[in-house]
Chains A and B, each alone.
Chain A
Amino acid sequence: MFCVQCEHTITTPTAKGCSYTQGMCGKTAEVSDLQDLLVYALQGTSFYAEQARTFGIVDRAVDAFVPQAFFATLTNVNFEGERITGYARQAQQYRDLLRERYLAACVAAGKTPTTPTAAAQFELAADHAGLLAQAPEAAVNRGKESVDADVMGLRLLCLYGLKGAAAYMEHARVLGQQDDSVAAEFHRIMAWLGSDPAELAALLNCAMEIGQLNYRVMAMLDRGETEKFGHPAPTQVNVKAVPGKAILVSGHDLCDLKLILEQTEGTGINVYTNGEMLPAHGYPELNKFKHLVGNYGSAWQNQQKEFADFPGAIVMTSNCLIDPNVGQYGDRIFTRSIVGWPGVRHIEGDDFSEVIACAEQQAGFLYEEIPHRITVGFGRNALMNAAPAVIEQIKQGNIRHFFLVGGCDGDKSERSYYTDFTQAAPDDTVILTLACGKFRFNKKPFGDINGIPRLLDIGQCNDSYSAIQLALALAKEFDCDINELPLNLVLSWFEQKAIVVLLTLLSLGVKNIRVGPSVPGFLTDNLLAVLNQEFGLTTIGTVEDDLATMLQKSA
């Protein structure tokens, strides 16, 4: 195996990346190899999806499938070898169908077909042993012996960035949002990456194209969520338990949450959100359910303790899933969509009765804890509505600076930087936050500035779209460039969604972003120097130094 896609990949002084029998995430070498084969097969499918488009041949099922299956290889999503193999074989079936249609169209038009890439010509072995034997051919770092380390680093930056975009495309598709031109761009890039490009400038350009693509995907996702569930509004959420049977819904899929709420209504079962599902409370069409009683737990890396303590059924709708056997709750956790863990029940379709039956069998919460309410729901509309008041406070000098502190959480102790940073931020500064990194500080008291809360929870990681809209609106109001605003971005990364959000921000020209807690293992020192030179991108330093530097801007 070789996998270097997440932040806790093995890092030694001489090598970076998980390459032994198991990844740091718990993924076995076998599953990792099968995921590489899947990605390679998908690159072949995308090749023909792109070529077929030249004749107007568009298959929406393929456009849906490729990002979805790619999402299955994201960190902490799917650990089931059989399902990964199934996706890979499906990818080649789709490729074969498209190839057939494309070649027929070429014949009809009298055109010579484009020479397929190696990925497009690749044939999966018929049996499991054969597949594993093929894995080196499909490895994400294939050809590393002869390829420049910077080229390899950029290939991986693009591949992992595109994987993050694919995940958001799948989230958008579930909400009924598909776009042919977005799919076309996705296939073009996916196919190109399958050709093992070797030119640095082209790869760097591709990274920006992926960022731009993802900006459109995040807009689709924003539209899908707000059209389906209404615009998020500031909402108080209890983060403590109430008595009763309980279901915990984790991951990002708001549609699954709604189905569960509908099917548990009147049963007496209470529904709790976990992790990235917290922003659900802000959406009117979800918040209207009285038995959506609160948010339980914190970020994903704590689930082995928190899920173990949760006295009900648990549904994992997307990333991040980690080994449920450690906390011995494998028999009461369920996976959905692309998520999988060996031996854990997987729910297909829209019927959650198995989950409900499981919740009924568990003890549920016996007692009510002292409620602790936090505020969520500062989505795009709420931010825009607050913008005039915010602008007024800036003009009066009551708000000096904004920080966007967000991204993924993880278990490294260095991540205390983010907690310390928000605690050290002066009282006349406002902190915008999103994604699960917020759980390090979102239950702490921040107070307000003349009625404007100092901590504004924008939502999930993809809701960085809302933050960008606010920044653009402020830049317009103050007639300045986004980089001239008294605003600094301090991001935490763990997996590939964060990578693509970063690419989006860079592609929009946002400069001087600080990223932590560590540098992605796939980026070389040269590439970091380029990113620093081009975009002012740096890693986090000490809270004191970073704050002092950032606040100079608004002094």
Chain B
Amino acid sequence: MTANAALFAPLICTGRVEETHDTATFTFRAANQSPFAYKAGQFITFEVEVADQKLHRAYSLSSSPCQPDQVAITVKRVPGGKVSNHLLDHLRPGHMLPGMAPAGEFNALDCPRTDKVLLFSAGSGITPCISIARWLLANGPGCEIDFVYSARNADQVIMAAELDRLAAQDERFRLHRVLGQPAREGDLQGRLDRALFDRIVTEVAGKTLFTCGPESYMAAVVEFAHARGMPAELIHQESFVPASANDAGASSGAQFQLQAPRFGKTVTVTDGQTLLEAMESAGLPVIGACRSGVCGSCKCQLLAGEVEASSTATLTEDEIVAGYRLACSSTIRSDLVVEL
């Protein structure tokens, strides 16, 4: 069950920095020394073998495209997180990981944007936001950035020194730390609520908002921005939370048959399962990178049967008509015949 090898290039880990007790930043160079071409905010999908299983996960790049020789990802330990925890436990400088080319629509070039940017992030959602910030500071002379970062306490602030450095060096970069337990003067206390949002964002006119973090966090940020009258086209959100966790479709407990004729497989699946989970359990070589309907890596074609689709983000109209779906964002509701 090897994914298409041509999609992956060997990336060599060149460094590892412990950011917090449960988070580390890893830097990579391409094994063939070629520079990386990407847009600030994009991610790379890595292939990681965990317990004899090849898994694919997307990690946002925290580095800036201005320094194309290396890329960096920041990984946080999560309960039950197979890949992230494996990388934190085992990945060291010198190790090779296969990675796909950078991709993703959540980025500073493709998303409609103004010069004044609000970057709202929490936890490991900081990664695409700091990449966008670094790139804008280098390439947008007229830019103004409000960088709002939420964490439980100061010890959990990822890239704390880098944030302080940017704030100290560049007056266009304003840092707002929102901490459950403030640690120093200027830290804002509590969870990000409407009052706190309004306190930080005094004016919305002419501003663009990017947000990345847990689903509930982003939903709140987007709601506050809407309430303040920000136009929808200037509000952008990223998400790497598994679609199944978001949408956990209610299950009737009914059993269905999932067939993949080209792979000679027929397995029993349960109503409410995501198609991606079912295909992975059946040992089908599907790549589920972002697992949230963003990256498009798990595109597959339904030859028969229907699913409940929560995202068709990367699919064209023609593809949808032809039965293509994103496996991660498809909840099984009937017998299915599927092709990769």
Binding site for B on A (CB under 8 A): 366-372, 413, 416, 441, 443-445
Residue of A nearest to B10 (CB): A367
Q: Is the CB of A367 within 8 A of B51?
A: no
| Per-position binary interface string of chain B over residues 110-141, scored 1 when its CB falls under 8 Å from any chain A CB and 0 otherwise | 00000000000000000000000000000000
What's the nearest-Cβ distance from chain A to residue B85, in Å? 12
B51, A444: Cβ atoms under 8 Å? yes
Please provide the chain B residues from 22 to 48 with a CB less than 8 Å away from any CB of chain A in the complex: 31, 48
B51 x A368 contact (CB < 8 A): no
Q: Which residues on B sit within 8 Å (CB–CB) of A416?
A: 283
Provide the bound-state CA to CA distance between A313 and B87, in Å: 31
A-B interface, 4 closest residue pairs, ranked by CB to CB distance from nearest: A367-B96, A443-B52, A370-B90, A370-B95
A370–B48 Cα gap in the complex (Å)? 9
Tell me whether B12 and A367 are in contact (CB under 8 A): yes
Specify which chain A residues have a CB less than 8 angstroms from the CB of B95 in the assembled complex.
Answer: 367-370
* CA distance in complex: A445, B264 (Å): 27
CB contact between A370 and one of B31, B91, B264 (< 8 Å): that residue:
B91
Answer whether residue B323 sits at the interface, using C-beta atoms and an 8 A cutoff: no
**Bound Cα distance from A368 to B94, whole angstroms:** 6
The reply to whether the CB of B225 lies closer than 8 angstroms to some CB of chain A is no
B97 within 8 Å of A (CB atoms): yes
For residues 273 through 294 of chain B, which have their beta carbon under 8 Å from a beta carbon of chain A? 283
Determine the chain B residues whose CB is within 8 A of the CB of A371 once the complex forms: 90
A residues near B12, Cβ cutoff 8 Å: 367
Residues of A within 8 A of B86 (CB): 370
7 contacts between A and B (CB under 8 A): A366-B31, A366-B96, A368-B95, A368-B96, A369-B49, A369-B95, A370-B91
In the complex, which residues of chain A have a beta carbon less than 8 angstroms from the beta carbon of B49?
369-370, 372
Smallest CB–CB gap between A306 and chain B, Å? 11
A367 to B9, CA, bound (A): 12
Nearest chain A CB to B83 CB, angstrom units: 11
CB closest residue in chain A, given B94: A368
A444 CA / B51 CA spacing, docked (Å): 5
CA distance A372 to B95 in the complex (A): 12
Q: How far is the CA of A441 from the CA of B51 in the complex (A)?
A: 9
Chain A residues with Cβ below 8 Å from B91 are 370
CB neighbours (8 Å) of A369 from chain B are: 49, 95-96
Nearest CB on B from A429, distance (A): 19
How far apart sit A369 and B31, CA to CA, in the bound complex (Å)? 13
Shortest CB distance A369–B (Å): 6
Residues of A within 8 A of B94 (CB): 368
Q: How far is the CA of A369 from the CA of B92 in the complex (A)?
A: 10
Complex CA–CA separation, A441 to B86 (angstroms)? 19
Taking the nearest CB of chain A, how far is it from the CB of B92, in angstroms? 8
CA distance A444 to B91 in the complex (A): 19
Bound state CA distance, A368 and B91, in angstroms? Answer: 11
Q: Which of B31, B87, B96 has the most CB of A within 10 A?
A: B96
A444 near B52: Cβ-Cβ < 8 Å: yes
Task: List residues of chain B with CB within 8 A of the CB of A413.
Answer: 264
The distance in angstroms between the C-alpha atoms of A202 and B31, with both chains bound, is 66
**A413 and B284 alpha carbons, distance in the complex (Å):** 13
B97–chain A nearest beta-carbon distance, Å: 7
What CA separation (Å) do A386 and B283 show in the bound complex?
Answer: 36
- Report the Cα distance A113→B52, complex, angstroms: 62
Q: Smallest Cβ distance from A543 to chain B, in angstroms?
A: 14
CA A42 to CA B246, docked complex, whole Å: 70
List A contacts of B283 (CB < 8 A): 416
Q: Which of A367, A372, A443, A444 contacts B31 (CB 8 A)?
A: A367
Please measure, in the bound complex, the distance between the C-alpha atom of A416 and the C-alpha atom of B51, giving whole angstroms: 16
Task: Give the distance to chain A from B86, nearest Cβ to Cβ, in Å.
Answer: 8
Q: Residues 48-69 of chain B: 1 if any A CB is under 8 Å from the residue's CB, otherwise 0?
A: 1101100000000000000000
Separation of A518 and B115 alpha carbons in the complex (Å): 69
Instruction: Compute how far the CA of A368 lies from the CA of B52 in the bound complex, rounded to whole angstroms.
Output: 17
Report chain A residues within 8 Å CB of B90. 370-371
For A368, A370, A413, A443, which residue has the most chain B Cβ atoms within 10 angstroms? A370
* Beta-carbon contact of A370 and B51 below 8 Å: no
Write the chain B residue with the least CB distance to A446. B51
Query: Considering the complex, which residues of chain B in the window 75-112 have a beta carbon less than 8 Å from any beta carbon of chain A?
Result: 86-87, 90-92, 94-97
Bound-state Cα–Cα, A371 to B94, Å: 11
By a CB distance below 8 angstroms, the chain B residues around A366 are 10, 31, 96
A4 to B55, CA, bound (A): 40
Closest residue on chain B to residue A365 by CB atoms: B96
Residue numbers in A under 8 Å from B51 (CB-CB):
443-445
- Give bound CA distance, A371 to B13, whole Å: 14
Give chain B residues whose Cβ lies under 8 Å from the Cβ of A444.
Answer: 51-52
Tell me the minimal C-beta distance from B1 to chain A in angstroms. Answer: 12
Can you name the residue of chain B whose Cβ is closest to the Cβ of A442?
B52
B59 to chain A minimum Cβ distance, whole angstroms, is 15
A239–chain B nearest beta-carbon distance, Å: 9
A416 and B263 CA atoms in complex are apart in Å by 14
CA A367 – CA B93 in complex, angstroms? 11
| Nearest B-chain residue to A240, judged by Cβ | B49
Q: How far apart are the CA atoms of A367 and B97 in the complex, in Å? A: 9
Kindly supply a per-residue 1/0 record for chain B positions 300-334, scoring 1 wherever the CB is within 8 Å of any chain A CB and 0 otherwise. 00000000000000000000000000000000000
Output the least CB separation between A545 and chain B (Å).
16
* CA gap between A367 and B283 in the complex, in Å: 27
Contact B52 A370 (CB under 8 A): no
- Distance of A338 Cα from B87 Cα, bound (Å): 45
For A367, list chain B residues within 8 Å (CB). Answer: 10, 12, 31, 95-96
Extra contacts besides A367-B12, A370-B49 (12): CB < 8 Å = A366-B10, A366-B96, A367-B10, A367-B96, A368-B94, A368-B95, A368-B96, A370-B86, A370-B97, A441-B52, A443-B51, A444-B52
In angstroms, Cα B10 to Cα A554, docked, is 50
Chain B min CB distance to A426 (Å): 19
The CA of A367 and the CA of B87, in the complex, are separated in Å by 17
B87: chain A residues at CB < 8 Å are 370
Interface string of B1-28 (1 = CB under 8 A from A): 0000000001010000000000000000
Bitwise, B153-168 to A at CB < 8 A (1) or not (0) is 0000000000000000
Instruction: State the Cβ distance, A120 to closest chain B Cβ, in Å.
Output: 49
- Among B48, B95, B264, chain A packs the most CB atoms within 10 A around the CB of B95
Nearest chain B residue, comparing its CB with the CB of A441: B52
A455 to chain B, nearest CB (A): 12
In the assembled complex, the Cα of A441 lies from the Cα of B97 at a distance in Å of 23
Q: Which of chain A's residues have a CB closer than 8 A to the CB of B48?
A: 370
- Determine the distance from Cα of A444 to Cα of B96 in the docked complex, in whole angstroms: 21
Chain A: minimal CB distance from B299 (Å): 25
Closest B residue to A371 using CB positions:
B90
Shortest distance from the beta carbon of B84 to any chain A beta carbon, whole Å = 13
Across-interface contacts of A370 in B (CB, < 8 A): 48-49, 86-87, 90-92, 95, 97
Beta-carbon nearest neighbor of B97 in chain A: A370
The chain B residue sitting closest to A242, CB to CB, is B94
Chain A nearest Cβ from B27, distance in angstroms: 16
- CA–CA, A413 to B1, complex, Å? 13
Measured in the bound complex, the distance between the Cα atoms of B233 and A415 in whole Å is: 53
